[in-house]
Structure 1
Amino acid sequence: MHNPPLPLTRDLVLIGGGHTHALLLRKWGMNPLPGARVTVINPGPTAPYSGMLPGFVAGHYSRSDLDIDLVRLARFAGARVILGAVEGIDTAQRRVHVPGRPPVAFDVASVNVGITSDMPALPGFADHAVPAKPLGPFAARWSAYLDNTGPASVAVIGGGVAGVELAMAMAHALKTKGRPAQVTLIDNASALTATGPKAAATIRKAMADLGIDVLEGVSIKEITADHVALDDGRQIPAEFVTGAAGARPYSWIQHTGLDLYEGFIRVNGHLQSSDPAIFAAGDCAHLTENPRPKAGVYAVREAPVLFNNLRAALGAGTMQRYVPQKDYLKLISLGDQSALAERLGTSFSGALMWRWKDHIDQSFMNKFCDLPAMATPPLPRARAAGMAETLGDKPMCGGCGAKLGRGALRGALSALPGPLRQDVTALPGDDAALLTTGTARQVMTTDHLRSVTDDPVLMTRIAAVHALGDIWAMGAAPQAATATLILPRMSSDLQERTLSEIMHTASDVMRDAGAEIVGGHSSMGDEMTIGFTVTGLCDKDPITLAGGRPGDVLILTKTIGSGVVMAAEMSGRAEGATVAQAYEMMTQPQGAASRILGEAHAMTDVTGFGLAAHLNGLCKASDCGAVLDLEAVPVMPGAIDLSDAGIQSTLFADNRSIAPELPIDGKAALLFDPQTAGGLLAAVAPEIADKLLEDLRAAGYPAARIGHLTDTPGLNLQS
């Protein structure tokens, strides 16, 4: 008997991708709670590990060494990722607010967003300085400054451990770069108050050896573009200023209505806030029963307790108490590959301590690089012939939205009779039908996609842009749309939440395109599928595949490579940043591009059959051939490397059979990569091609001239 998937009944929302949540997602992947839908919300696809920041600033680590890949981690955990910065929590309605999307509902939530070292009250800081936290913007600004030449001047505000580590790391990096540098550490009281006298003396000597000026007991009046002005009249040269003092919570937390301590979320021994459905961990939380300083070691050790207690809050198990250790090992970088270790007043320093710190940091990061491989359930011993071959070596979808191959579609459709109605015009090869009602010409199409992401909002945007592609490719103006939805089994509350997210998003996308959602149909199944039937109006003859002419220039409006990127994401082999860039391209509407290309002789959208097959269809309908400039074809970042690593979509072989004369090595393999919500491919008169490209790029499209049509049948690559 077939056992259907278990229904989803509760929403767990993780706000922030801090160390605690990262470890929690790893544990969740190895032991998920059936019925719980997990969502992680973070500003970007990665979360930096702050413990390695001084090593990065000093030049010992690359930028990527610091990043925990949340997209890959969430795939492992079976969680959906929402890329955006939270701007508030409505505790009464149980909603999390993220700009640019409907609110995210939760039954249980956890906050692990860290802190910021921004100093908005300090004159000039916002314009001329960068806080050390959050790490991402700081790292980008520091890399750009370090790459400059000539003398350097740097000021670090804050004499705590974080500040002195940064000052020493910057001084070392500038020295290694051969740039004469003035590095100044500024504190309005005394530096290094959190360390013992022996450790402080060692650190002060290390700063002196690096030529760092330490100013204590001074107040800053203003920060300018090239100096820090002190209240006593002194001006400290500083082209690069960072703040590592005054760590404070994000401002949106104060508007949540939760009980706070100096702006931080007060939590009890179970890591629960004043609202028992909302937990908090890491630096953004204040441990009311056992207050502790802000340190990553506590965030790490909170993870197993938070994991247990979130499951308990969702209905499985009982709460545990978190009892923090009274003291912890401090490992402080000293600029070069040397570090100081201190605990309970005893300290040691040198290269051995650095190797120890590096081992601890690398071991932590390896937890997220070396995710355990989850075994695939074996096939039944007794099974019908052909099952293994049909399943193949890739998960269903494999980067193509679970589309059927072109061969199967052609075989099924070829036997259908032509239209008998005079108001239905056959357009062989085009995906949209042309209907005539009185004097009005209307095109109609339908398309649906199996989810390539578990975020209903993102998936709706992708599916809507994908379905609208056929309307835009014919030069029509979108008019109306109906939605067809299949949702996985879930409780009525989750159904309502998910449908609300989908329909609000669908309405936004369609309305932005000029169309209206006029209805739809929904049902339940094993997994989420989103589709749309769309109509469009033509104020002139539609642009079809059949109008291309020899000599026409071929223009492509978007990059290709989404199939291989999505296939890699499904197998946990794509970097989160690569996936995020692919999503951004897939959700870019093509309405403006369609209007710019309104005088095209022939046009199609590049979707599941890949660039080569769609171009082949245009050529056959236009009785032409084509020469492709492979070098000019725009490609998504990371797609070639993933393809070269052997990653392919399940449709690759079928697409390849349509143009077997073309090579499949290197970049050429992406010509057969199925695209989701791909770009428009237009054949245009050569005399207007340059102006069209200029207009497309001005409108934000990565458009390129990728070849031309010829009077010789077949596809060829430019030599």
Structure 2
Amino acid sequence: MLTNSLTPQVKHLVLIGGGHSHLFVLKQLGMKPVPGLAITLISRDIETPYSGSLPGTLSGFVSRDDMNIDLRPLAQFAKARLIRATVEDIDLEAKIIRLPDRPDIHFDILSLNIGSRPDASTILGADEFACPVKPIDEFLTRWESVLAEAVQRVSNQEDYAITVVGGGPASVELALAMQYRIHAECKLALESASPLKLSIISSSSEILARHSAKVRRAALDTLRRRNIKVELGHRVTRFQVDGVQTNLGGEHVSDATFYATGASLPDWPARCGIAMSDDGFIDTLPTLQSASHDFVFAAGDAATIRGASRPKSGVYAVRAGKPLADNLVRFATGKRLKPFNPQKHALALISLGDKTAIASREGLSLQGKSAWILKQRIDKAFVARFSQLPSMETKLYLTKGLMDIEAEAELRRHAMRCAGCGAKVGGGLLGEVLDDLHGAVGMEKKPIEDASIIPLRDGRALLQSIDQISAFIDDPWLFARIATNHCLSDIYAMGETPHSALAVVGLPLASQRIMKHTLADLMRGCKHELDANNCELLGGHTAENPQLQLGLTVNAFADANSSLAKHTLNQGDVLIITKPLGTGTLFAADMRSLSRNRWIESAIEQMLLSNKLAAQVLRKHSASACTDVTGFGLAGHLFEMLDPNRVEAELDLASLPALEGSLDLLSAGIHSSLQPSNLRVAKGINGHEKFGNDPRFQLLFDPQTSGGLLAALPEADAKDCLEDLIRAGHSAAIIGRVVKIGATDSSIILK
């Protein structure tokens, strides 16, 4: 949802849930943007499992990564804000979504694609003693522990019993896949008798009741051949620690119990006032609008369409995707909506766990490897459709002939500009301007510190720093929290405590309502972090700006000459960094829809970590010099420490802490737009030519946003300091040492 003032946002569409229908909505909005429409996706899960691949994952044929669709690249492609949260409270009258631990979300249009879950909530012991197949990520976590225990027991010729409750396709697939995997791990023949005892229990009189008699017979024959017990007409009345009880009075012993019974919906949509159908799902019109609120849409398992009730199956959620996307855009732009009439019959594919399957549609069916191959082809194509996205290129409008070919190529290569510290002016350019300024006005050139020190009376000093960055994530509240920590860092780098701050905000043009909500979210995020750092917000200034920006002027008071400086290193000092590197390349990739969500979440977790405790630990252990690592990268900021006294330092490349994914991206040649400027200091690194494109070498020049502190301290204190930093929650590392003071020139030696 990052935008500029040339495309003002005037309406807000919020998608709740990352189900199959919403995948189509996001893809379509990325391919055919609607200028002026802000989009937000709220989902409990960001790496969403594709349910069709679940049997293959259980059998061991499909990895968890390969069955997941990462919503982050898809949201970036659609220019949608992405929020990981569980929604349980919506004020439909005020059009507000209330989320825990963050500001409310205001919307104009709402779409729900929240899926369903097995309906066993009314059965005693369900939450405590049984595991539902959905949510799939929680089910897979439970399955991994069951698998390990089952393999151990069966390998030792000890009985292990698994019960699957439910009589639909999911139950059949689960039982067959589980048996295949456990037998394979124990090196047992598939149809051999073993200590593994698998049972399917269903209240229905038939297995696969919605399928043809031929399909039912084929499934039952397979289950019997593989010694999986099927008990029909048994309604489970109680789950317990060692199995289940049924309405017929019997007890079924089980070491692990799973259930894939009929679908149900969480209670919050009804509690919020959305009309529900007789079957307990959201009552929707053929246009996919709620029967009670025309600005609310619903699709997939969560919805029942009037006059077109269909089974709660992923295939129907997929079919609803494009009609939902079309009608959301039509509603947003004031056009007439089109009704959706879902097909009555769909191709059904039931995995049999061993690279065979049953394919059926209406009266026709096929069993064997060819059906499995077809299923795999369909499943892989679906995941690829939403994972392998078209490249996003930013055009550079430049008349040919204005520049030489090489300079023009360099500009075009970096036309997609980074934000955060990746948008800083390069250190070389800044240094040249400051040198010219000193000469022009006769200013004395002094080592530049992270904050200005203004002497006061009575041996005190006022420290002031200023910093400002553009939004690099499309969440004003989260961006403000990161930006605030970033701006406070200069004071912490000098070993002092922030006292107060003034804010400057740049807001993109939008409707007055959206600008108000953006500013409110931004300032709440800023205040949240200032309060956590005991720093008072005194006031500020706002202005329209092409990009969302936040900056702070930060004040601190200290005793004169007590602050840490950058350049006061001592020979033999050890160099410590308090946070891992890599935010520049990660967010450069994120702009291109190439970062994984878990990489970005890990980076954000580090960027939200204040340097307050790190500064206190470094002070405690007699740090001699300190700075923070931000836009100029580790190498650039280290040279700021080395240059004034011509210091020679040694760095151990292998010890550099790197954020997950950053080295992979650097190896792939994905760099922040500031990286080429930062690379100019490479000439001061001895033998830099031989390291070339080594990703850890490239990491030295990666610009950081809300990066860690880089400090020098006596070798005798280094080990204890590192242990204290780690205890304080920092992923700190010893990365080098000071070799020589007063060398011919400042330099870095790489190990």
Give 1:185 shift: 2.1
What SS is found at the alignment partner of 2:39?
A: strand
Give 1:189 shift: 3.9
Which residue is equivalent to 1:73? 74
Indicate how the Cα distance of structure 1 residues 377 and 647 shifts in structure 2: closer, same or farther if over 3 A, else same. closer
Alignment of 1:389-428 (within 5 A): 389=409, 391-394=411-414, 395-397=416-418, 400-417=421-438, 428=447
Alignment of 1:578 with 2:599, yes or no, is yes
Query: Alignment partner for residue 385 of structure 2, among 354, 367, 375?
Result: 367
Paired letter, 1:45: I
Paired letter, 2:202: D
Which residue is equivalent to 1:309? 327
Which residue is equivalent to 1:645? 668
Paired letter, 1:511: D
Whole-angstrom distance in 1 between the partners of 2:165 and 2:559: 63
What SS is found at the alignment partner of 1:676?
A: coil
What SS is found at the alignment partner of 1:71?
A: helix
Which residue is equivalent to 2:648? 625
Which residue is equivalent to 2:191? none
Query: Alignment partner for residue 328 of structure 1, among 340, 346, 354?
Result: 346
Give 1:537 shift: 3.3
What SS is found at the alignment partner of 2:370?
A: helix
Indicate how the Cα distance of structure 1 residues 593 and 31 shifts in structure 2: closer, same or farther if over 3 A, else same. same
Paired letter, 2:491: I
Deviation per CA, 1:479-535: give whole Å up to 9, x if none: 222222222221111101111111111111111111122222222232222222222
Alignment of 1:529-608 (within 5 A): 529-538=549-558, 541-599=562-620, 600-608=623-631
Whole-angstrom distance in 1 between the partners of 2:455 and 2:85: 44
Which residue is equivalent to 2:190? none
C-alpha contact (below 8 Å) 1:628/1:715 kept by paired residues: no
Whole-angstrom distance in 1 between the partners of 2:10 and 2:401: 33
Alignment of 1:453 with 2:482, yes or no, is no
What SS is found at the alignment partner of 1:615?
A: helix
Indicate how the Cα distance of structure 1 residues 376 and 442 shifts in structure 2: closer, same or farther if over 3 A, else same. closer
Indicate how the Cα distance of structure 1 residues 438 and 154 shifts in structure 2: closer, same or farther if over 3 A, else same. farther
Further displaced range: 531-540 or 192-201: 531-540
Which residue is equivalent to 2:136? 135
C-alpha contact (below 8 Å) 1:96/1:103 kept by paired residues: yes
Q: Which runs of 5+ in 2 are unaligned?
A: 155-159, 188-194
C-alpha contact (below 8 Å) 2:579/2:709 kept by paired residues: yes
C-alpha contact (below 8 Å) 2:123/2:236 kept by paired residues: no
Equivalences, count: 712
Indicate how the Cα distance of structure 1 residues 689 and 56 shifts in structure 2: closer, same or farther if over 3 A, else same. same
Whole-angstrom distance in 2 between the partners of 1:562 and 1:6: 27
Give 1:300 shift: 1.1
Which residue is equivalent to 2:707? 678
Which residue is equivalent to 2:511? 491
Paired letter, 2:170: A
Paired letter, 2:450: D
Alignment of 1:160 with 2:168, yes or no, is yes
Indicate how the Cα distance of structure 1 residues 413 and 377 shifts in structure 2: closer, same or farther if over 3 A, else same. closer
Paired letter, 1:580: E
Indicate how the Cα distance of structure 1 residues 88 and 682 shifts in structure 2: closer, same or farther if over 3 A, else same. same
Indicate how the Cα distance of structure 1 residues 631 and 147 shifts in structure 2: closer, same or farther if over 3 A, else same. farther
Alignment of 1:253 with 2:269, yes or no, is yes
What SS is found at the alignment partner of 1:365?
A: helix
TM-score (norm 1): 0.93
Whole-angstrom distance in 1 between the partners of 2:273 and 2:559: 54
Whole-angstrom distance in 2 between the partners of 1:120 and 1:288: 26
Query: Alignment partner for residue 636 of structure 1, among 655, 659, 663?
Result: 659
Give 1:129 shift: 3.8
Which residue is equivalent to 1:264? 281
Alignment of 1:357 with 2:375, yes or no, is yes
Paired letter, 1:337: K
RMSD: 2.7
Further displaced range: 96-105 or 261-270: 261-270
C-alpha contact (below 8 Å) 1:475/1:538 kept by paired residues: no
Query: Alignment partner for residue 687 of structure 1, among 692, 716, 730?
Result: 716
Query: Alignment partner for residue 669 of structure 1, among 667, 679, 698?
Result: 698
Whole-angstrom distance in 2 between the partners of 1:379 and 1:455: 29
Alignment of 1:502-517 (within 5 A): 502-517=522-537
Give 1:315 shift: 2.0
Which residue is equivalent to 1:39? 40
Whole-angstrom distance in 2 between the partners of 1:452 and 1:606: 18
Alignment of 1:185 with 2:200, yes or no, is yes
What SS is found at the alignment partner of 2:466?
A: strand
Whole-angstrom distance in 1 between the partners of 2:638 and 2:333: 54
What SS is found at the alignment partner of 2:488?
A: helix
C-alpha contact (below 8 Å) 1:549/1:622 kept by paired residues: no
Paired letter, 2:263: A
Whole-angstrom distance in 2 between the partners of 1:121 and 1:539: 66
What SS is found at the alignment partner of 1:547?
A: coil
Whole-angstrom distance in 1 between the partners of 2:125 and 2:523: 44
C-alpha contact (below 8 Å) 1:397/1:403 kept by paired residues: no
Whole-angstrom distance in 2 between the partners of 1:99 and 1:602: 41
Indicate how the Cα distance of structure 1 residues 437 and 380 shifts in structure 2: closer, same or farther if over 3 A, else same. closer
Indicate how the Cα distance of structure 1 residues 380 and 698 shifts in structure 2: closer, same or farther if over 3 A, else same. closer
TM-score (norm 2): 0.89
C-alpha contact (below 8 Å) 1:400/1:650 kept by paired residues: no
Query: Alignment partner for residue 221 of structure 1, among 229, 238, 245?
Result: 238
Which residue is equivalent to 2:211? 195
Alignment of 1:209 with 2:209, yes or no, is no
Task: List 4+ stretches of structure 1 deviating above 6 A.
Answer: 424-427
Whole-angstrom distance in 1 between the partners of 2:453 and 2:444: 5
Whole-angstrom distance in 2 between the partners of 1:46 and 1:463: 26
Whole-angstrom distance in 1 between the partners of 2:118 and 2:711: 50
Whole-angstrom distance in 2 between the partners of 1:489 and 1:153: 62
Whole-angstrom distance in 1 between the partners of 2:67 and 2:576: 39
Whole-angstrom distance in 2 between the partners of 1:351 and 1:222: 36
Further displaced range: 135-144 or 291-300: 135-144
Give 1:361 shift: 1.4
C-alpha contact (below 8 Å) 2:396/2:412 kept by paired residues: no
What SS is found at the alignment partner of 1:559?
A: coil
C-alpha contact (below 8 Å) 1:265/1:286 kept by paired residues: yes
Whole-angstrom distance in 2 between the partners of 1:312 and 1:346: 38
Indicate how the Cα distance of structure 1 residues 408 and 267 shifts in structure 2: closer, same or farther if over 3 A, else same. same
C-alpha contact (below 8 Å) 2:567/2:640 kept by paired residues: no
Which residue is equivalent to 2:258? 242
Further displaced range: 407-416 or 556-565: 407-416
